[in-house]
Structure formats: C-alpha cells, structure tokens
Amino acid sequence: MTTLHGFTLLRRQFIPELNTDAHLFRHVKTGAELLSLQNDDENKSFGIAFRTPPTDSTGVAHILEHIVLAGSRKYRVKEPFIELVKGSLKTFLNAMTFPDKTVYPVASQNLQDFYNLIDVYLDAVFYPLLNRHTFQQEGWHYELSDPAQPLIFKGVVFNEMKGAHSDPEDLLDDSGRRALFPDTPYGVDSGGDPRHIPDLTWEQLKDFHRRYYHPSNARIWFYGDDPAEERLRLLNAWLSAFEPLPVDSAVALQTPFAQPLHVQKPYAAGEEGKAYFTLNWALAENADPETTLGLSLLAHMLIGTPAAPLRKALIDSGLGEDTAGRGLEGDLRQMAFSTGLKGIDQANAAAVETLIFDTLRGLAAQGIDPRTVAASMNTVEFRLRERNTGGFPRGIALFFAALTTWLYDRDPLELLAFEAPLEAIKARVAGGERYFEGLIARYFLDNPHRVALLLHPDLTLQAQMAAEEQARLAAARAALSPAALEEVIADTLELHRLQETPDDPAALAAIPRLTLADLDKENKILPITPLAQQGAPLLYHDLFTNGVFYLDVGMDLRQTPQELLPFVPLFARGLLDMGTEHEDFVSLSQRIGMHTGGLGDTSLLSTHRRSRQPVTWLFLRGKAMTPKTPELLAILSDVLLAARFDNRDRFRQIVLEEKASAEASLVPAGHSVVNSRISAHFSLAGWASEQMGGISHLFFLRELLQAIESDWPGVLARLEALRALLVNRERMIFNATLDAQNWQQVQPQLQGLIDHLPARAASAAAWSPAPLPAHEGLTLPAQVNYVGKGANLYDLGYELHGSVHVVANFLRTTWLWERVRMQGGAYGGFCLFNQNSGLFSFLSYRDPNLTHTLANYDAAAAFLRQAEISEDELTKNIIGVIGQIDAYMLPDAKGWVSMQRHLLEESDAMRQEMREQVLGTTPDHIRGFADVLDEVAAHGHVVVLGPQAGLERAQTDAALPLTLTRVL
Ligand SMILES: [Zn+2]
C-alpha cells in the first residue's frame, strides 16, 4: 500500500449529488482518520472530532471544550479563540460538545485565513495549557473576595447550564434521551448538571484530555476548494509527533427494553405553568442508509407540517397548546423519536399517550394518505438537493452527517450519498409496498423500547434549587478551616488579577492573522434589476440557483392601523395554515409539499437611515424547481385571494401554538426578547416589531384567546380587514432570484399572477405608540438573567461613521468578554449596533449578575477612553468587521439581502463608503467613541429578564427604578 505524507488511502468515491470527490485516509503512525472532500465550494471547512463519552454529569467534556480554546503551547494568551473571533475572516468558528463527541469546526473563504484558523485549533486541541485558573473560570470555583460576603459558585459553564436547565424544553429533550439510553454515555448529561458540576476536579479534567484528545481517537475533516495534497502534508506535520495510543472510547448500544418505562420529573414553573408529555422511542442504529432515510421521511409525514396526521391529531385533540418533543433525533449511534404535547393538564398525560398510539395504529392499519406520502417525499428530496444550510457552512453540515456513522466506526460516506437509498424507497412505494406503514409497526407499535415522559410544573422548585445551592455553599464554608478560607480568598483575588492582566503583546502577535493588504478593498456587488410590473415593483437577481426559483412576495405594513399590527403574524399563518375556498388546509399543505420546496412567512421591520421612517413588510417566501413555477404561482394566488379565516377552532389552535412558542423562546432567546423591548423605545419599526413578536405580542396573544371566545366576529373582521389592506399590488413587491435563462420562461408567468391581484389606492397609517416604562424588570422562573441597556445614538447626536462597527467588535471581544463573561461568569456579554435605526445596546446572556453587569456597561466609556490600542489590535478588529461585511451567502440569501438594501435605499456607493471608513479606522475613532457611550450610560433604557427575587433585590439594594412585570 502506498503512502502519501504519512497517510494511506482507504477508499475513494465520487459523489455526483454533492459534486464532490471524497477520499478516506488513515494516518499510518497514529491511526487518525481523515475524510478529504474536494469540490469547488469556496466556503472551505475543516474540523476535528474526538469521541468523548462521559460517565457522569459533571460536564467534564463540555468544560474541557471551553478550556482547550483558552491558551495553548504556541498561543499563550488568555483566549486565542476570542482573538480569532475578533480578527479573522471566518465564516464559522465554534466548538460543540455532544453526548458522545466534541467537535472543533472552522470555515473561511480565504485560504490563508483558513490555514490560520486550523493552526490555532490544532495547537489548542493537542497542546492546551489547561491552567487551573482557567478551569476555575470556565468550569466552577468558590468565589470569595471579602470574608464578610457569602461564598458563591462561579463559572461560565456552570451558568450556561443553569440557563439550559431553566428551559423546560431543554430539560424535556435531555430527560427523554437519558431515560431511553440509561446504560450508555447518553444516560448522563454531557453538558453538565449545575448540581454535579462542582464535583469535577481539575485533575479529572486533565485526565479526560489525556485519554481522549489524541490522534488515535480523532476524525478529521477537510472540505472545499483548497489544495488537496496540502491537507495531508499539513496534518502529517502535526500528527507524526504522536505515538499511537490505545483509546477505549466506543459507545455501547443500549440493551433494548423488554417493557416501556414511565418517567415523571418536575420543572421550575410560574403560576400558569402546565405540564409537558412526550413519548420517546429508541429506533434503529444509524447504520443502514435506507432505514435512516426512511425514518426521516416517516418523521416528516407524521409531524413535519401542521397538516401531518400525527401532529394534526395531537393539536385537534385540544389536550394541549402545541406539540412537544424533538421529533427525529439522528445525531447519535441509535436514532430516537419523540413527540407529544405541551401546555397540558397533568391528568391528561394518559389520554395523550392513548391518542398517539391510536393515531399510529390507525395509520398502520388504514395506510397513510398517498398525497401525504408524496408531499413528504418531495419535500425531503428538495431539501437534499438544495442543501440550503442558510448561514451555516454546507461543509460543516456534511461533516456532522458523516460523523453519524463514522464516529461508530462505520463508513463515513454512507449517509452523504443519498441518491441510491432515495431511489430504492421510491421504487418500493411505486411498487405498492406498504413501506412506511411497515416502519410504523416495527419501530413504534411493536417496539417496547420507549419512555413515556411527564414533566410537571413545580412552583417551588426554583426556590428549592436555590436553597439547596445555598445549603451546599454554607456546608462547604463551614468545613473550611480559617487557613483554607484565606486560601479561597487568595485564589479568588489571584483569578481576578490574572483576568485583568493584559496579554503579553508578543504572545498576542504570535497568533497568525491576515494583514490589511490581504483584504479586498471593494465590496462584493449583488446583482439587482428593478422591473416595474403593473405598478408593483419587481426585483430580479440574476444568480445561478441550480434550477430553483426563489420568490418573495412582500406586503407593505405601513398602511396597517396600529391596533391591527399584532394580528399580522396570525394573518400570515392564516394565509398558509387555514385552507382556501377551494380546499381545506390539509389538502393545501399537501399541494405545497408535493410541488414546491416550501412556502413560509417572515417579516422585515427596519428603519430608513436618512429619513428615519419605518420600512415594514410582511413576506411570503416560496421556492420551487423552475418547471414547477405554475404550481407555485397557483398556490400563491390561492392563498392571497381565497384563504379562509372563518374556522374558529383552527384559528384558536394557531393562536395557542403561537403563544406556546413565544413562551418557549423566552429562556433560550432571552437576550433577543430584551433587545426587542429596548428597541421599542427608539423607533417605530422597533415598536412595530415588538408588537408583532415581543413581550407585547405575547400579552396580546393571551388576550386574543379570550377574544376568540367572546367576540369571534370581531376577530374575524380584523383578519379580513388585513387582507383587504395588504393584498393590494399597489403596495406590494415581488422579488425573484434565478438564472437569466430560466427567468425568461418564469417572468411572463409571474406577470400573470401580479395582473390578477387587486389594486387600490392606499396611504400610510398614523402610528402613535403608548410609552413603555423607562426601565423594566420582566420576571420569569429562571436561574439566570438577561440584562440589557440601550439608547438611540442618532437621538443623542451621533453621526454614523463606519468605525462604530470596529468599536463594537472591539468592545465585544475585550471589555465585555472579560468583564461580563470571564469575570462575571455569564455565558455571554456583548453589544449590538443597528446602523439603520441607530440603536446601540448592551446585552448579556445567562448571566448570574444584574447590577454588576449594568455597572460594567456604564464603565465601557471609561475603558475606551484609556484603551491602549496597538496597531495589531486595531488591524484585527478591522479584519473581523470586514469578515462580517463579506459574510458568505447562498443565492437565495443574496437575492433577499439585495432586496433589503433596495427597500432601505442603501446604495452600493454608500456601502463602499462604509467599507472605506471601516478600513480607515484609527485608535482615535475608538477612544473618541467614549463620549458617545457616556451618553448611553446617562440616557439608556434598562430591560432585564430574570427571576423575580433578584429583580426585587436590585430595586431595593441598588435603588434601580425598575417597573416589574410578570411574564411567566
Ligand atoms: Zn458551552
């Protein structure tokens, strides 16, 4: 067998559906495996994965993942990771801990930048410093700087996981998986349970690294248009320094259950908290491509759309507010499936279980509606061919797909090539086989390896967990001798000292980076051709889309009276999910699935920078293969002209689902909720957005549920009023993305749709928002806070200059990272600037602090004023901002962004001027921004989402004038 740069080739395969040449290599000396994919994707990706099965819930794998990126042999600075975040052109940079693996992926469009990222990552995983103080900072430690104060636990992962455990959906998924696989690594919490994290020692952490972070336990990935042989040469230089090591990291299969299990757990709830119930099944091992694809098709048929029979049966039952459960879980050695309901009465759990089984039995016996089968087959096939991973690099998505077999010593290409299994399943179905019904019988009905899981609300759990933590800390303190207590204090102070000591400039300079000369001086221009059609603006973007026609249909919300704005998201769902005069919503949904790549709604709410007027649109976004354009347009015509809103039961279901999902997003997206509330103070668009999707909207939905009962004709009249206002080609826009040759056929067809739409004169509505309280505390039963403060810089007299983006990048990666995250122990602390509206906001995520974080925001000005900004530091921050400006986009995103710029009248010349200002940023620009931040400190509005007790303490102890409102 021949070797090349220390590697032997195990197999080679061309995968036409990915237009990729794949080579699987083994490193001869260490046994490391490399999957090398060559293709023309300029968004190159690299990753290294280790099998890291945990045996307890101390979060050792997760904490190690954090610490590995905090200093290594070649890069002896506090956080090489944040230096890369700050100053590279990366299109992806992160690390993730899964229940059985830890993955370090990066991506970039720039070859030198790509190699720089790889170099820092490989040094990090193979030669991390693993300092004790970093363990304390990222994992946990006793924090005590003053003996008069109580002892507390602090640590970034500790608070990250407190946030995760405050999210009932997270707890539901985690508990389901652990109960299904109790005798495997999936039976523990790989992220770490805050109650067990303090059991972990630094020695155990170092030992975990020694055992698993070795080439003999590594799977390495390259993908894209970088030179293929260089991959081998580069890697061999790293790997050949190691001797082979026997690593026992195999993930065992769970012995199948003989009997189903019932599990019940509490979660911390507010007064209206209801129960969650899911059924969880262990399915097949992720080993046979046809079964894997078959189960994912089946999952889509059962619950993938509102019309899917199992999802519909659950919603129609009225037993709960919305479906619960993750659906198909395909990342692990064994697949699993979970579904159920949230917002149920605990007493109805058994009824939900019966309903799920009755529905599955009915489907297996009577057969799944062939139109449902056809719709799901088309939808899934469209996704496989389109490979639209949004902002996530395609290469990294494929790396994860490869790992689902590769990690368990199976062929990594098994699930990448989808053509053969897809054809096989199509042939079975075409041949009349009851294929999917057979899967239901085998994997669901006749499978006792399942868990019925009930999560019930507990009003006192929040206080109980806090009390347990206090008791544990009190006991720990009592056990400390005076000398040991002194040591804790000395250690805390030493940690603070290290955190505050700036990195050695020479060590910082060692981190490889580009120079300003490597950056493009010009912005990339997106194609756009404005074409007027019957008065309605039509924008066309000539881009290669691989035969997919992307169409966005926009309706101007500026004509909407303010009391109707909160109805807009429900109107949008009504268009797509309630049926039309010609067919019910199941049939409509099947038609969308069979002929298109999907049809959804979204809104665009922004501010025109110069006029400061709101630019507010509702969009329907659809896509189809070009030959299916007539079907896509016929569906759009039906929903715009003939949607029916008069089914009260169906509308109530939609409102309940929207309410449940708004409540479910509070903990995982608390920072966005806070930012939306702040922005409502400062612009009409921000206010409209909060009305349509923020806390105000959640309160509106709760009232609407009453109104549906007490005044249904009034509710219906408002939906009809919105249709009359919005479906008006005088106030619509059409946005098409497709290559020129296909566009020639499509354009006249689109013209037909536009001609067909009603046209009326319309004028802008007067919006006059009621003022919100200046400073707000929004309460919910969580263990952490989301702290925000913001102001509108344009109101404060600031004039836009591109350097503001460099300042924001600098603050995020220096002051806020160090103070709010490293020292404060929050999972995240950052700032955002919206150059359209002028809103500048500070935000924290999963934050144990409140007033302390606000004080850090206010002190940002003083930090900037005295900041010493080296040439190197400045360059890195400029590079980071250019990386954000040049973010990688797939063709549909290019068409969408280009349209946004058109609506906001942001010309290429203006964007080029901004780029030049970014490139020309000086240290004086950064220091000068301190005056602006002084104004934010003085005039900003504060919004905090968090537990009531802490907010009340802030009111009394810190005299913070917060108006408290209970959200959950
Ligand atoms: Zn983490």
Ligand 1 centroid – CA 967 distance (Å):
27
Say which of 65, 79, 143, 160 is annotated catalytic.
65
Say which of 33, 83, 138, 776 is annotated catalytic.
138
Phi-psi region of 417 (alpha: psi -120 to 50; beta: other; left: phi over 0): beta
What is the 3-state secondary structure of 517-567?
HHCCCCCCCCCCEEEEECCEEEEEEECCCCCEEEEEEEEEHHHCCHHHHHH
The CA radius of gyration of the chain, in Å to the nearest whole number, is 28
Helix (H) / strand (E) containing 114: helix 111-126
* Model confidence band, residue 957 (pLDDT cutoffs 50, 70, 90): confident
Q: Which residues surround ligand 1, an ion (CB under 5 A)?
A: 160
**Percent of the chain scoring above 70 in pLDDT:** 100
pLDDT greater than 90 at residue 272: no
pLDDT greater than 90 at residue 2: no
Amino acid at 540: Y
Euclidean distance between CA atoms 587 and 622, whole angstroms: 18
Ligand 1 centroid – CA 389 distance (Å):
23
* Model confidence band, residue 241 (pLDDT cutoffs 50, 70, 90): very high
| 777 alpha-carbon distance from chain centroid | 25
Whole-number Cα distances in Å, 533 to 276, 482, 706, 784: 50, 82, 43, 52
pLDDT tens by residue, 168-202: 999 999 999 999 999 999 999 999 999 999 999 99
pLDDT of residue 959: 83
Amino acid at 893: A
Euclidean distance between CA atoms 960 and 951, whole angstroms: 9
Question: What pairs with residue 823 in β-bridges?
Answer: none
Q: What share of the chain is helix, strand, coil (3-state, %, to 5)?
A: 50, 20, 30
Residue with tokens 């460099």, as numbered in its chain: 806
Ligand 1 centroid – CA 164 distance (Å):
10
pLDDT of residue 704: 98
Evaluate the CA torsion angle 885, 890, 894, 896 in order and state its sign: negative
Regarding beta strands 839-845 and 828-833, do their DSSP bridges make them parallel or antiparallel, or are they unpaired?
Answer: antiparallel
Residues 629/549, Cβ–Cβ less than 8 Å:
yes
**Percent of the chain scoring above 90 in pLDDT:** 96
Ligand 1 centroid – CA 916 distance (Å):
36
Euclidean distance between CA atoms 490 and 492, whole angstroms: 5
Whole-number Cα distances in Å, 619 to 551, 552, 557, 569, 892: 10, 6, 10, 10, 14
Euclidean distance between CA atoms 735 and 621, whole angstroms: 9
Residue with tokens 């508990």, as numbered in its chain: 175
Of 401, 420, 397, nearest to 410 by C-alpha is 401
pLDDT of residue 1: 62
Ligand 1 centroid – CA 330 distance (Å):
21
pLDDT greater than 70 at residue 276: yes
Regarding beta strands 90-93 and 96-97, do their DSSP bridges make them parallel or antiparallel, or are they unpaired?
Answer: unpaired
Residues in CB range of 336: below 8 A, 6 or more apart: 176, 177, 180, 280, 281, 282, 283, 328, 329
Known catalytic membership, residue 65? yes
Whole-number Cα distances in Å, 656 to 171, 327, 572, 584, 854: 22, 20, 15, 20, 36
Query: How many alpha carbons fall within 13 Å on the CB side of residue 580?
Result: 19
Ligand 1 centroid – CA 60 distance (Å):
11
Find the mean pLDDT for residues 876-898: 97
Instruction: Look up residue 951 and give its two tokens.
Output: 């907010």
Residues 168/181, Cβ–Cβ less than 8 Å:
no
Ligand 1 centroid – CA 92 distance (Å):
16
The end-to-end CA distance of the chain, in Å, is 65
Residue with tokens 């949230």, as numbered in its chain: 342
pLDDT of residue 435: 98
Instruction: Look up residue 421 and give its two tokens.
Output: 């299994």
Helices 695-710 and 684-693: crossing angle in degrees, nearest 10, is 50
Residues 375/302, Cβ–Cβ less than 8 Å:
no
Query: How many alpha carbons fall within 13 Å on the CB side of residue 207?
Result: 6
Helix (H) / strand (E) containing 617: strand 614-625
DSSP states of 824-845: T--SEEEEEE-TTT-EEEEEEE
Instruction: Look up residue 23 and give its two tokens.
Output: 């080579």
Ligand 1 centroid – CA 138 distance (Å):
9
Ligand 1 centroid – CA 167 distance (Å):
15
pLDDT of residue 533: 64
Instruction: Look up residue 380 and give its two tokens.
Output: 């899934």
Question: What pairs with residue 789 in β-bridges?
Answer: 842, 942
Ligand 1 centroid – CA 62 distance (Å):
6
Amino acid at 570: L
Find the mean pLDDT for residues 632-642: 98
pLDDT of residue 534: 64
pLDDT of residue 958: 80
Evaluate the CA torsion angle 448, 451, 454, 460 in order and state its sign: positive
Ligand 1 centroid – CA 157 distance (Å):
6
Euclidean distance between CA atoms 350 and 299, whole angstroms: 22
Ligand 1 centroid – CA 821 distance (Å):
12
Find the mean pLDDT for residues 483-506: 94
Q: What are the backbone dihedrals phi and psi of residue 821, each rounded to the nearest 5 degrees, phi first?
A: -95, -65
Find the mean pLDDT for residues 461-478: 94
Of 378, 310, 374, 309, nearest to 340 by C-alpha is 310
Q: Which domains does the chain have, with CATH numbers?
A: 3-251 (3.30.830.10), 272-392+401-458 (3.30.830.10), 545-756 (3.30.830.10), 776-966 (3.30.830.10)
Q: What is the mean pLDDT of the chain?
A: 96
* DSSP code of residue 250: P
Q: What are the backbone dihedrals phi and psi of residue 82, each rounded to the nearest 5 degrees, phi first?
A: -70, -25
* Model confidence band, residue 227 (pLDDT cutoffs 50, 70, 90): very high
Ligand 1 centroid – CA 439 distance (Å):
37
Euclidean distance between CA atoms 691 and 767, whole angstroms: 12
Whole-number Cα distances in Å, 318 to 299, 653, 656: 22, 8, 10
Residues in CB range of 924: below 8 A, 6 or more apart: none
